[in-house]
Structure formats: structure tokens, C-alpha cells
Amino acid sequence: MTPKTIRTIPQERTPMPEQAPVERVRNFSEVALGYALGDARRESERCLMCNDPKCIAGCPVAVDIPGFIRKICAGDLRGAYDVLTGENLLPAVCGRVCPQEEQCEQVCTVGDSLAPVAVGRLERWLGDLAIEQGWANVPYREPNGYRAGIVGSGPAGIACAADLAKAGCEVIVYEAFQAPGGVLRYGIPEFRLPNSVIDAEINNLLKLGVKIECNTLVGRLFTIEQMLNELGFHAVFIGTGAGYPKFMGIPGESLNGVLSANELLTRCNLMQAGKFPQFDTPLHLGRRVAVIGAGNTAMDAMRVSLRLGAEKVYCVYRRSRAECPARAEELLHAEEEGVEFHWLTAPVEVLDDGRGNVRGLRNLRMELGEPDDSGRRRPVPVAGSEYEFAADMVVYAIGTNANPIIGQTSKLRLNKWGYIATDENLATSLAGVYAGGDIVTGAATVIQAMGAGRRAARSIKAYLGLVETDVVYRATPEMAERSFGVEPWAKNFARIRLAA
């Protein structure tokens, strides 16, 4: 086979089939419909299989991207899935919600001259194919007698649990809600990440022998210290997330109709408030909804509001479109669906209708001044530029603070912002207790949390004295062959069950 060059590969990126905006704004089905086999084969051909692939380093969990794409090109789809899941347990989730444009696709060599290879779309397609085909990679596990407790079933906890289970630990994941998944479940709406996809990928975790116990609020039902001293866990990972929504402290925030994006999304996604009164949780959506903030959570809140029937949805952000922290794709989708954007606008007061409900928002126009600490140009108020618009619901999507429950109930050292303090190995101040994800770094992305969960799992394995099992799990035939010849003293290793 002649090596591919930038001239010989398909020049255009294979487009993602999507529901039309007028159509999708009335339903909760997925916006992006996913590649068909032909799309995936064609897009795979665009990968140059670089000798020194930069995309792997661009991925927080270091997926062997050229490796799985090579298998797709060769027609070995199951093999491609094996390579992919060697590093990433949740391809159907990550293919949908990772900001690939800032990660693997940003550093893709093809991207230097053409549009980068659509790694995320290929990953999603493969993940969906695996769900459809019922594929799951269940490695042979040799129980090692260690018990690991995971606090939180969000992306960080799931990733950590999977790696520890593969290493032979008995893993129990505790979740406070009635259903597992953390932010994947309560935060990300159905049209971006269907609950059925979360269920399918979490099911793979259960096949690894991981137990998930819902309805369990760690810290209050039992403490981190009790997990080590009474519940018999040898190591604990804390991945509770940052959820503790921020408000601005402007007048009118206690009015009825003001809520956090977390509350709006939890009511809709986890509790299915959109189906009230068949489901019992109400939302009481406004006709005109103003969302403050322009990150991914803000986009989700706006697009959920539109789908639930809001007549007008406004986005209020104090910087300009160029500084918008949401993924480009999410912003574009929100624009297509009819969100009205008020860039360079800072709310100064939520207006009262006289009966304790929201009647509107008073704002100040901003202009961009000198760059601030973050390198972005600082928004500066324009004198005398106050204006109002009518709204009956105001949603805050301006970020979160550290959730205080673990801090309140354990002796773990926190940093000055209340997040859990860890060293570079994600070890906390308590021996055997590790933490990662938003509760350590503050709000970030799903894949960053998964990366942290995996890093913590490596640290926990080192702490427990277990052989590193990540490498062994990768399902290339050479690798599998080598791992079966592992020394007998290395009791704690995972082998690939070749006959699947």
C-alpha cells in the first residue's frame, strides 16, 4: 500500500448528518445523527497514520487514535473497538461530549493544511456500533483482595473504577442520586447525550464486576475515614464534582423564576420535568428565558428551554462572541436554533414584577479593555448604557464552587477555594485517599475528569503495590501474547479474553 499523503486523502471532512434546526428545536432527539458506515470508512481514509502521532498526546486519556483508525480502514471494526476501549471505556459518551477541537483534532497533522480528521465523530460511531452489536471487552480479572471505594459515579469515578476493576480490585461506586452517571445523567441533555447511551456504557462497567450503589451520600451516611477504617476499603477515590452553583450577588436573585442551570438541567434531565405531570417533578418554565453565561452549561440550558417551549431565549454574556467558552459546535447549534445573544452585556439587576416573580433583567453594556490575568480582554462597563428586557425566568450558568460536603465531614486538606488539595499523583492529605475531577480542579470537561480518574487509578495501583495493568489490556495480538507469558509472581494482571 502506498503511503497516504495530504494530496491523496479525501480533502473534505465528512460532514455529520444533523437534524434541521426547525425540526430539532421541537424534540429531544439527538441533534447530530452520527456517521453511517460509509461516512466512517471515508473519514478514516483521511488519517495519515503519522509515525509520530500528535493526536495521542492531545488526548487526555491517550487513546491510540491512529491505531483504531487503522483498524477501521482495514475493515476490522471489532479490532478498532478493542484498541479504542483499551484507553477509553466510554467511547459513545466521549465521542459526543469531548471538545476534540481543543484536543486530538487541534494537533492533528492533517489539520495543518486541511480540516483535521474527525476523530470525535469516528469515536462516537464506533461506540454506537459497539452498543448496537453488544460488544464489550471484559478482560480476565484475577481478584487481588483489595477493595477500592469510589465516591461519585460521574466521569472521573467511572474511569477510576474501570481501571481498578481491570487490575483485580473489588470496586464499589457510591452515587448520591437514584441513578448513576453524575453530570452525564443530570447535566447533559438527551439531545446531546441520550440516557440510553449512558446506560449502555455504564453497563460495560458492571460487566467488569464494578458494583454501583445509588442513594448513598458519602460524607453524611458514612465518612471517608469510615470507608477506610470500618468499611474495609484499602483505597478511596473521591470524584464528587464541583457542583455548588455560583450566583452573582445582584439584586433580585431570590425572586421566583431565578434558578441555577444545574437546577434547570437536573429537573429536566434526571427528573424528566419536561414530562410533568406524568413525572412528578415540575419546572415551571418561563415564556422568556434569560440565561447568564455562555459556556457549555449555558448552551445546554438555553437549548433545553427552547425544546420545552420557551418563546424567547436570551444569552447574556459580558464578553464578546470571540471569548465565548462554549464549544464552537454548541454555540453554532444554539445560534441556529434561535437563541438571541446579548454579547458584551452584564446583568445588574433581576427585576421584580411586584409579586415576587421575575419580570425582566436590567443590564449594562460592556466594551473590551486591556487583557486580564487570563489573557482575555477585560470587559469594562460603558457609562450610561443600562437597558432592560422582559423575561420571566433567569438562569445562572456562570460556573460552580466546590461542593462542601466532603470537606465538612472529613479531615482532608482543602485548598483556599475549598477544593480538595492533592499532590501531582492526585493523593490527598489522607493516606490511601485520592481525588480527581472537578472537586480538585474546579469545573472542567468530562474527558479531563476521566483523565484524572485514570491517573488516580494508576496512583492507587502503585500505592497498593499492584502491577500496572493498563498496558496489558490493550488488545493487539502481540501485546496479548506477551502478557500471557507474564511472570508467575505477577499475580495481579489482567489478560484479554481472546475468545469473545
Partner 1 sequence: MSRPRVPPAAPEGPSGVDGDRRGGNGLASQVGEAGQSSPTTPPEAEGAFEIVAREDFSDTTYLLEVRHARLAQAARPGQFVIVMTHAEGERVPLTIADYDRERGTITMVVQAVGKTTREMQRRCRVGARLFSLVGPMGQPTHLGTARKVACVGGGLGVAPVFPQVRAHKERGAYVIGIIGFRSRSLAFWEEKFRAHCDELILCTDDGSAGLKGLVTDGLQQALAAHPDLGEVIAIGPPVMMRACAGVTRARKVKTTVSLNPIMVDGTGMCGGCRVSVGGQMKFACVDGPDFDGHAVDFDELMRRQRRFAEDEQLATARWLEACRLAQAPEAARPAEGLAGAVGGSTAAGRGPGTA
| Calpha distance 258→260 (Å, rounded) | 7
Does position 272 interact with partner 1 (CB under 8 A)? The reply is yes
Q: Which stretch binds partner 1 (CB under 8 A): 81-89, 132-140, 255-263, 450-458?
A: 255-263
Where in 395-454 is the site for partner 1 (CB under 8 A)? 396, 403-405, 408, 427, 431-432
Residue 435 parent element (H or E): strand 433-435
Distance of closest approach, residue 298 Cβ to partner 1, in angstroms: 15
From 15, 207, 279, 380, residue interacting with partner 1 (rule: CB under 8 A): 279
Does position 256 interact with partner 1 (CB under 8 A)? The reply is yes
Query: How many beta carbons lie within 10 A of that of residue 490, not counting itself?
Result: 13
Judged by CB under 8 A, how many residues of this single chain contact partner 1?
69
| The C-alpha cell that represents 7 in the structure block | 494530496
Does position 188 interact with partner 1 (CB under 8 A)? The reply is no
From 178, 321, 415, 482, residue interacting with partner 1 (rule: CB under 8 A): 178
Output DSSP code: residue 345: E
Closest to 160 in 3D by CA, of 150, 168, 170, 174: 150
Residue 364 β-bridge partners: 346
DSSP codes, 76-122? -HHHHHHHHHHH-S-HHHHHHHS-GGGTHHHH-SGGGTSPPP-HHHH
| 3-state SS, residue 460 | helix
Query: How many beta carbons lie within 10 A of that of residue 89, not counting itself?
Result: 28
| The C-alpha cell that represents 405 in the structure block | 460536603
From 49, 115, 138, 222, residue interacting with partner 1 (rule: CB under 8 A): 222
Q: Which stretch binds partner 1 (CB under 8 A): 216-224, 289-297, 323-331, 386-394?
A: 216-224
Q: Which stretch binds partner 1 (CB under 8 A): 6-14, 73-81, 276-284, 382-390?
A: 276-284
From 15, 17, 282, 477, residue interacting with partner 1 (rule: CB under 8 A): 282
Q: Which stretch binds partner 1 (CB under 8 A): 30-38, 61-69, 108-116, 137-145?
A: 137-145
Residue 213 β-bridge partners: 174
Distance of closest approach, residue 128 Cβ to partner 1, in angstroms: 21
Binding mask 480-499 for partner 1 (x = CB under 8 A): --------------------
Distance of closest approach, residue 246 Cβ to partner 1, in angstroms: 9
DSSP-H helix ranges across 188-276: 195-207, 224-229, 261-265
Dmax (CA) for the chain in angstroms is 77
Distance of closest approach, residue 401 Cβ to partner 1, in angstroms: 9
Where in 142-161 is the site for partner 1 (CB under 8 A)? 143-147
| 3-state SS, residue 449 | helix
| The C-alpha cell that represents 466 in the structure block | 499492584
Amino acid 462 reads A
Does position 140 interact with partner 1 (CB under 8 A)? The reply is no
| Contact between 427 and 269 (Cβ < 8 Å) | no
Binding mask 75-114 for partner 1 (x = CB under 8 A): ----------------------------------------
| 3-state SS, residue 253 | coil
Query: How many beta carbons lie within 10 A of that of residue 422, not counting itself?
Result: 24
Does position 221 interact with partner 1 (CB under 8 A)? The reply is yes
From 59, 202, 290, 494, residue interacting with partner 1 (rule: CB under 8 A): 202
Distance of closest approach, residue 446 Cβ to partner 1, in angstroms: 16
Q: Which stretch binds partner 1 (CB under 8 A): 52-60, 109-117, 204-212, 294-302?
A: 204-212
N-terminal to C-terminal alpha carbon distance within the chain? 30
Distances (CA, A) of 435 to 121, 150, 236, 401: 30, 9, 8, 16
| The C-alpha cell that represents 101 in the structure block | 477541537
| The C-alpha cell that represents 51 in the structure block | 509515525
Does position 268 interact with partner 1 (CB under 8 A)? The reply is no
From 354, 384, 465, 485, residue interacting with partner 1 (rule: CB under 8 A): 465
Distance of closest approach, residue 188 Cβ to partner 1, in angstroms: 14
Residues at the contact surface with partner 1, assessed by CB under 8 A: 143-147, 170, 176-180, 186, 202-203, 206, 211-217, 220-222, 230-232, 234-235, 241, 243-245, 247, 249, 253-254, 256, 259-260, 262-263, 266-267, 271-272, 276-284, 356, 396, 403-405, 408, 427, 431-432, 462-465
